[in-house]
């Protein structure tokens, strides 16, 4: 019953969202594309960060590789968009397999910092590559069609979320969760931890790369600093954590809420929006460290004591 109502509600929400380009203003549609892409990134991070418990700061590399796959394919080889996307996804999955193997052996801080380092290395390498336009970047062919990009981004988010829903109730997903809770125990129970972690990493690389490809074609311009932006990586993490990591709808909810808030603020004062973004992170970690999803569930039972209990649990 609960499953059926959740499904019905999701179908209605997606259906309403799909009509937005036909009645919404140009500004709303553009905001929508950005929010959908960010939600996809937060959701794909959720697979490795939320379910597997490996806080990757390198997912922006997948996003950047997806963008460069499309840009290099379309500009240097005159390939169609879809072929460029395939190239981007191929590069990202290759990266996930080759570098996931050594990096996923690390844990905690060390994993986070190693992935952060990888992202920096990729930025520097791409800005020295002739074929990628060095640090000046590439200009893609112009395609005017916000409606198309909106529907593409929406479809991508739906597929990503369905994948996460599948993960949360599949044998593969239980393996990932077991790794998050206790990696040694998972190995003892017969989970091939190395294989599972790499597959999880590769799976999230696919969605992040497609998101990067769509975004690059949409804004028709790509340069190394914006393609491999660390801030983008932190944004997807914040959105996933704000919404609720390791849940199906939490990261999407977090991405929509935070995008809307910063959009409203950005139209007023830009630097205030930045300060607010930082304060939201600080307040969210202090008062609701398990995200909106947990807040909604527990607040009904506990009321305001919920926040107090969170602080009590983690203070010194």
Partner 1 sequence: MQLLWQILINGVLLGGLYALMALGLVLVWGVLNIVNLAHGALIMLGAYACYYLFTGFGLDPFGALPVAMALLFCLGYLIQRCVLNLVIRAPMFNTLLITFGLEVVITFLAQMIFSADFRTVNPSYAGANFLWLGATVPLVRLLAFGVALGLTFALWLFLDHTALGRAIRATAQNLTAARLYGVNPRQLYALTFGIGAALAGAAGTLYGVVSQINPYIGSGLTGKSFAIAIIGGLDKSIYVLVGGLFLGIVEALTALYIGPTYTDVISFGILVVVLIVRPTGLLGRTA
Q: Which is nearer to partner 1, 36 or 65 (CB)?
A: 65
Q: Which of 27, 82, 105, 192 binds partner 1 (CB under 8 A)?
A: 105
Q: Mask of contacts with partner 1, 254-293, x by CB under 8 A? A: -----------------x--xx-xxxxxx--xx--x----
Minimum distance, C-beta of residue 125 to partner 1, in the bound complex (Å): 6
Report 224-253 residues binding partner 1 (CB under 8 A).
230, 234, 237-238, 241
Of 72, 27, 62, 68, nearest to 41 by C-alpha is 62
Task: Say if residues 204 and 47 touch (Cβ distance below 8 Å).
Answer: yes
Of 267, 210, 217, 219, nearest to 37 by C-alpha is 210
User: Is 204 near partner 1 (CB under 8 A)?
Assistant: no
Q: Which is nearer to partner 1, 121 or 165 (CB)?
A: 121
User: Is 300 near partner 1 (CB under 8 A)?
Assistant: no
Q: Which is nearer to partner 1, 213 or 224 (CB)?
A: 224
Of 35, 100, 36, nearest to 62 by C-alpha is 100
DSSP structural state of residue 246: T
User: Is 116 near partner 1 (CB under 8 A)?
Assistant: yes
3-state secondary structure of 138: strand
What's the full length of the chain, in residues? 316
Report 152-181 residues binding partner 1 (CB under 8 A).
none
CA distances to 222, 249, 282, 313 from 42, in Å:
21, 11, 18, 27
Q: Which of 20, 70, 85, 112 binds partner 1 (CB under 8 A)?
A: 112
Q: Which is nearer to partner 1, 14 or 276 (CB)?
A: 276
Of 259, 199, 280, 252, nearest to 46 by C-alpha is 252
């Amino acid at each position: 019953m609960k499953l059926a109502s959740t499904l019905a509600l999701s179908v209605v929400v997606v259906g309403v969202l799909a009509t937005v380009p036909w009645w919404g203003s140009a500004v709303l549609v553009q905001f929508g594309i950005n929010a959908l892409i960010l939600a996809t990134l937060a959701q794909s991070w959720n697979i490795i960060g939320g379910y597997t418990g490996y806080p990757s700061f390198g997912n922006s590399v997948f996003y950047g590789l997806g963008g460069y796959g499309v840009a290099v394919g379309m500009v240097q080889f005159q390939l169609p968009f879809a072929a460029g996307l395939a190239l981007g996804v191929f590069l990202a999955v290759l990266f996930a397999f080759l570098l996931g193997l050594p990096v996923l052996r690390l844990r905690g801080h060390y994993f986070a910092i190693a992935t952060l380092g990888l992202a920096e290395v990729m930025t520097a390498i791409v800005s020295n590559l002739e074929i990628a336009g060095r640090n000046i970047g590439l200009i893609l062919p112009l395609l005017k069609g916000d409606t198309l990009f909106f529907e593409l981004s929406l479809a991508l988010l739906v597929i990503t979320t369905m994948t996460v829903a599948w993960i949360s109730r599949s044998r593969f997903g239980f393996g990932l969760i077991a790794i998050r809770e206790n990696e040694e125990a998972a190995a003892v129970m017969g989970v091939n931890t190395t294989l599972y972690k790499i597959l999880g990493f590769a799976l999230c690389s696919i969605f992040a790369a497609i998101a990067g490809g769509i975004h690059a074609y949409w804004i028709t311009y790509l340069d190394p600093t914006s393609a491999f932006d660390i801030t983008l990586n932190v944004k997807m993490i914040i959105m996933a954590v704000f919404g609720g990591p390791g849940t199906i709808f939490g990261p999407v909810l977090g991405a929509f809420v935070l995008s809307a808030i910063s959009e409203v603020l950005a139209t007023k004062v830009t630097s205030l929006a930045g300060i607010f973004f930082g304060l939201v992170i600080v307040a969210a970690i202090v008062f609701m460290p398990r995200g909106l999803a947990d807040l909604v569930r527990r607040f009904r039972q506990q009321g305001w004591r919920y926040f107090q209990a969170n602080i009590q649990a983690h203070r010194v």
